[in-house]
């Protein structure tokens, strides 16, 4: 299992090589870049070039990128709408796909493997229209990402559209054989459980988001700080048809110092290595 971490843990900071050094020293083999302009400005060629130079000089790879959730510099706090590729209004769907394409263009400089994509918001309900909009968005973004060498991964969410069974239906209905799934373990724990989600999605899982919670809210805690059985969960992930990468996705509001993030990431990676062996 490739050990990786999302830059989301440093969302309150401008992402720079010093922060990537923290990940590398902790033992990260890969990084997921979180596309939020105030943190990682994917529209700034100098910022992208700065990070590309770091990846060129280090063994940790730019494994994946999380698609933008907002297009502004405040994560929607100033009133900017969510980037929603299945919104009921066509203009909003087009704007959302255009924003994601701006982020995908980073692959011209930083070669990353996967783009992690959300389908819908929590209040979006599942139905024929949502299925149609999901297929249309994936077709459009797949066509744009392919020449850049990037594969799309859809993420299971707490909203109705992105439940495990619905993601499988979307992939099958759209005949998306090379679009996979990023299994978010924390989200699964808040639903029917990790084992249930994995039983539905295992053939499609190519990456994961690893974080913990107590079954009550999406807290994005460090593994071991909630109620998920990590030895069992990681053992099942390692036994999946294609062992996915393990990407730590920890919330930036937990208050950890930069040094503490490095220490906790190192312990989490050690746990990932040991899981399933006893």
Which tens digits make up the pLDDT trace of 71-125? 998 887 877 899 999 999 999 999 999 999 999 999 999 999 999 999 999 999 9
Q: How many domains does the chain have?
A: 1
CB atoms closer than 10 angstroms to residue 92: 16
Which tens digits make up the pLDDT trace of 174-233? 999 999 999 999 999 999 999 999 999 999 999 999 999 999 999 999 999 999 999 999
Residue 278, pLDDT above cutoff 60? no
pTM: 0.96
pLDDT at 144: 98
pLDDT at 277: 65
Which tens digits make up the pLDDT trace of 224-269? 999 999 999 999 999 998 999 999 999 999 989 999 999 999 999 9
Token pair recorded at residue 140: 């459009």
DSSP H helices, the chain, are 17-26, 45-57, 90-104, 128-145, 164-173, 185-190, 194-201, 230-238, 258-274
Residue 14, pLDDT above cutoff 80? yes
3-state secondary structure of 33: strand
pLDDT at 54: 98
- What CATH number corresponds to the domain at position 245? 3.20.20.150
> How far is it, in rounded angstroms, from Cα 62 to Cα 17?
13
Question: In sequence order, what DSSP letters do the residues of 114-180 get, joined into one string?
Answer: EEEE--S-TTPPPSHHHHHHHHHHHHHHHHHHGGGT-EEEEE--SSSTTSHHHHHHHHHHTT-TT-E
pLDDT at 142: 98
Q: Which domain covers residue 146, as residue numbers? A: 3-274
Mean predicted confidence (pLDDT) in 6-19: 98
């Amino acid at each position: 299992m490739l050990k990786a971490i999302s830059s989301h843990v440093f969302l309150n900071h401008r992402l720079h090589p010093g922060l990537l050094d923290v990940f590398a020293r902790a033992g990260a083999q890969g990084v997921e870049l979180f596309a939020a302009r105030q943190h990682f400005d994917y529209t700034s060629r100098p910022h992208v070039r700065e990070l590309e130079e770091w990846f060129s000089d280090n063994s940790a790879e730019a494994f994946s990128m999380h698609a933008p959730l907002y297009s502004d510099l405040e994560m929607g706090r100033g009133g900017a709408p969510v980037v929603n590729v299945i919104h009921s209004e066509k203009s909003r769907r087009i704007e959302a796909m255009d924003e994601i394409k701006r982020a995908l263009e980073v692959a011209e400089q930083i070669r990353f493997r996967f783009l992690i994509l959300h389908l819908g918001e929590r209040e979006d309900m599942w139905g024929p229209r949502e299925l149609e909009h999901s297929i249309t968005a994936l077709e459009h973004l797949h066509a744009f990402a392919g020449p850049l060498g990037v594969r799309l991964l859809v993420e299971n969410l707490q909203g109705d559209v992105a439940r495990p069974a619905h993601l499988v239906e979307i992939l099958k209905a759209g005949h998306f054989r090379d679009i996979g799934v990023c299994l978010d373990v924390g989200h699964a724990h808040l639903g029917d459980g990790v084992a249930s989600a994995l039983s539905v999605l295992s053939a499609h899982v190519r990456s994961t988001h690893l974080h913990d919670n107590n079954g009550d809210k999406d807290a994005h805690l460090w593994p071991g700080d909630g109620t998920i059985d990590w030895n069992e969960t990681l053992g099942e992930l390692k036994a999946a048809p294609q062992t996915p990468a393990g990407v730590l996705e920890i919330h930036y509001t937990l208050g950890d110092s930069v040094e503490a993030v490095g220490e906790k990431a190192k312990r989490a990676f050690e746990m990932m290595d040991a899981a399933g062996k006893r």
